[in-house]
Chain A
């Protein structure tokens, strides 16, 4: 049974559909990457999965259980974590407090998970008493991912984790995504840096106009000349 299985998802804001039938499935230990041109509905799909957007048609299953249109806090309980693209930290809270908020629903986990997150992201341990608003962009992204990991999710949704970061940090973030995945967390991320993202992807989904254009393994999509021509800039 796939970890996440989205079938024929339609949805959008105020009656206007942005998603017109998206299919997506990833297994428990996989990294899924969504790429595509601007306005294709990549981030919208992520929001639909996390209950921030109404699904008008189709279904989304988490380990076989329908979860579409559940409120976010229920999804967190069910093992899903979400890292938005922007405003993804609490700026006036310290790093440690940010992480604690991630485990709000599982307060017993705090100590153990804090240690694990500090292991994933060593720089955060040094800055744990600093307000997250004072950190650099890359470190903030770590706080954001760390916060989502605190609830021990089985599936982590990342919305453009490398947006606005320098290439140096970008590689670091991709490395950390792989590291988190190797610890047994399924990942579904939206990325602008399609080539790099597909290189670490088990599954790749190329969206256009709210529908799947290509769906395959990351490596196969990278190798496909048509994908390369239309979506990866040649």
Chain B
């Protein structure tokens, strides 16, 4: 039973954490893809930017959360979301819109977004340095240990405070997005534009407004994803390319242009990663006596070492591109 707890801690919880972060990131990428038809390579650094804003704000107002009894970082998150959304809209106006106006191929926008990602990377690291920093400036990270009511189970299930917030915020974000897309006038217009941009225009939908709304949502979600990631571990300014691949993999697995698919894809990729680096020999320990020697002898039965974690999303990406390029939920764009 202790092995099961170990599994819960290292796979179920860890996988949900990574999955949530990828899911929120992938939703942004998929929305941008469905409205503007290009893979937004600056998304990883937009996430970092959001987290960096939280870090700056928390450093400036370390006591902001006291009144509410939650970490200051969370109280200041909405402000950081607004700033990141502003940044996203500004980047679009300054860099992507002129390219779109020229009627360039989507791949040129991809290159443009790589330029943007370098600029963001440079700026963030210029000011934040390259080392990790905790977003818990003035708060203490609570750790909850839940003992399981079974005999012989000594190890508790461990959940940290930021992880609990992460689950709640992910849930709220996904439900909020669902309501926005299915109920609100702008959300429906967004789906309409993703379906058929020409007809959306012929219906009198102002495509510039929709583009701006898309950036606001994508930017806000990126700030959430980046902040939650940094809360869970630490704020690291140099993650972007390592985040980008799993997020793109999640987007494509879920079917490009398919927000709910992106959520599912995020969890698929997140769990695949944690399962792949999980050391399975731990689970085999109880059956030690009945298993062949070569299997139990080795102390490490992980599929890939943590240093090769990035292989997992790449493998998923290649597999989905080979067998089902439209994703598990039939995306719109191949």
Q: Which residues of A contact B (CB under 8 A)?
A: 50, 52, 72-73, 76-77, 82, 84, 87-93, 97-98, 100-102, 104-105, 107, 147, 151
Contacts and interface: CB of A to CB of B under 8 A. Distances in A.
Nearest to A144: B199
Given A93-B191, A97-B188, A151 B204 contact: yes
22 contacts: A52-B202, A72-B204, A73-B201, A73-B205, A73-B206, A76-B202, A87-B198, A89-B199, A90-B191, A90-B199, A91-B196, A92-B191, A92-B195, A93-B192, A97-B188, A97-B191, A97-B192, A98-B192, A100-B185, A100-B188, A104-B185, A151-B204
Contacts of B201: 72-73
Contacts of B198: 84, 87
A102 B204 CA distance: 8
Nearest to A107: B185
A98 B198 CA distance: 14
B200 interface: yes
Q: Is the interface of B mostly helix, strand, loop or mixed?
A: helix
B298 interface: no
Interface residues of B, number: 17
Contact of A84 (B202, B206, B332): B202
A73 B204 contact: yes
A93 B199 contact: no
B297 interface: no
A101 B189 contact: yes
Contacts of A101: 188-189, 192, 200, 203, 205
Contacts of B206: 73
Given A72-B204, A101-B205, A87 B199 contact: yes
A104 B199 contact: no
B199 A50 contact: no
Nearest to A100: B188
B203 A102 contact: yes
Given A84-B198, A87-B196, A77 B191 contact: no
A147 to B, nearest CB: 7
B189 A104 contact: yes
Given A92-B195, A93-B195, A107-B185, A82 B204 contact: no
A101 B185 CA distance: 8
A144 B202 CA distance: 11
A104 B202 contact: no
Contact of A90 (B185, B195, B204): B195
Nearest to A73: B204
A54 B185 CA distance: 31
B199 A88 contact: yes
Most buried by A among B189, B195, B198, B202: B202
A91 B196 CA distance: 8
B205 A93 contact: no
Contacts of B189: 101, 104
B186 to A, nearest CB: 10
Contact of A104 (B191, B195, B204, B332): B204
Interface in B287-314: none
Most buried by A among B198, B204, B206: B204
5 cross-chain pairs, A with B, having the tightest CB-CB distances, nearest first: A76-B204, A90-B195, A105-B204, A73-B204, A90-B192
Nearest to A97: B188
B202 A50 contact: yes
A10 B240 CA distance: 52
Contacts of B196: 87, 89-91
Contacts of A97: 188, 191-192
Given A93-B192, A104-B203, 19 more contacts: A76-B204, A77-B204, A87-B196, A87-B199, A90-B191, A90-B192, A90-B196, A90-B199, A91-B195, A91-B196, A97-B188, A98-B192, A100-B188, A101-B200, A101-B203, A102-B203, A104-B185, A105-B204, A107-B185
Given A84-B198, A87-B199, A88-B199, A93 B204 contact: no
A77 B195 CA distance: 22
A212 to B, nearest CB: 26
B113 to A, nearest CB: 26
B202 A72 contact: yes
A52 B195 CA distance: 19
Contacts of A73: 201, 204-206
Contacts of B204: 72-73, 76-77, 104-105, 151
